[in-house]
Amino acid sequence: MIGPVFFVLLETSIRKGIRAGLAFNVGVFLSDVIYILIAYLFFAQVSDLAEGDSKGVAKIIGGILFIAYGLVSFFKKPKNMQISGNNTREVADWNEYAKLSLKGFLLNFANPLVIFYWFSVLTLGDTENSEAGPDTKFGMLLFIMIILITFFSVDVLKIIGAKQLRPLVTARLLRALNQLIGIVFVVFGIFLVIQGVYNK
């Protein structure tokens, strides 16, 4: 799916390489797992949230966070870059990988549409498994695992593909990427706020 996290994943992979992109994606993956657990364990409460006034409040808060992050990204300047001929890279260590995982986790977790998405997925899976037979828990678990593995695999392909763009990376291109990410986040944040105000 193309969304704010998609652009940050590509930017991270281009600037810092495959391992950095994977570290970021692990954070996104973990936040998805937590949202799935919340949606599964508190199915009734999430259902009320998805249909009640709290949905609008969650979108407004998420929208404001996304707008703030977008503005920071738009005005952020590339730093710590090592440009040598056609090879552009940033030196990363395990602390940085941990920070990237946390960044992926927080960005995905800040998006209220994610839990509504997984709630819809669980609702669909529950309906399909109920019609298929009595053993709904195993079917639901298999259903979710297939979706998560598919998401993660597609993201790995994005990361590998982004690596091919690294020889083209310059400080100017990185600044343009930051500005693109900033615009995407601001527009997405405004969209969430408007949805929250009208409680859609």
DSSP letter assigned to residue 168: G
Rounded mean pLDDT of 89-111? Answer: 82
Which of 104, 113, 105 is closest to 62 using CA atoms? 113
* pLDDT at position 101: 94
The answer to whether residue 83 scores a pLDDT higher than 60 is: no
Which element (helix H / strand E) includes 195?
helix 171-198
| Domain housing 72 | 4-198
Q: Quickly list DSSP for 6-60.
A: HHHHHHHHHHH-HHHHHHHHHHHHHHHHHHHHHHHHTHHHHHHHHHSTHHHHHHH
Rounded mean pLDDT of 45-64? Answer: 70
pLDDT-derived band at 88, boundaries 50, 70, 90: very low
The tokens 């937590």 sit on which residue?
34
DSSP letter assigned to residue 165: T
Q: How many domains does the chain have?
A: 1
pTM above 0.85, yes or no: no
Q: How far from each other are the two terminal CA atoms of the chain, in whole angstroms? A: 21
The answer to whether residue 199 scores a pLDDT higher than 90 is: no
The tokens 């973990």 sit on which residue?
30
The answer to whether residue 59 scores a pLDDT higher than 60 is: yes
Residue 182, classified by CB atoms within 10 Å of its CB into exposed (0-12), middle (13-18) or buried (19+), is: buried
* pLDDT at position 130: 55
Q: Quickly list DSSP for 109-151.
A: HT-HHHHHHHHHHHHHHHHHHHHH-S-HHHHHHHHHHHHHHHH
Rounded mean pLDDT of 7-35? Answer: 88
pLDDT-derived band at 180, boundaries 50, 70, 90: confident
The answer to whether residue 18 scores a pLDDT higher than 50 is: yes
Render pLDDT for 105-136 as a digit per residue (tens, 0 to 9). 998 888 877 877 887 777 776 666 555 555 56
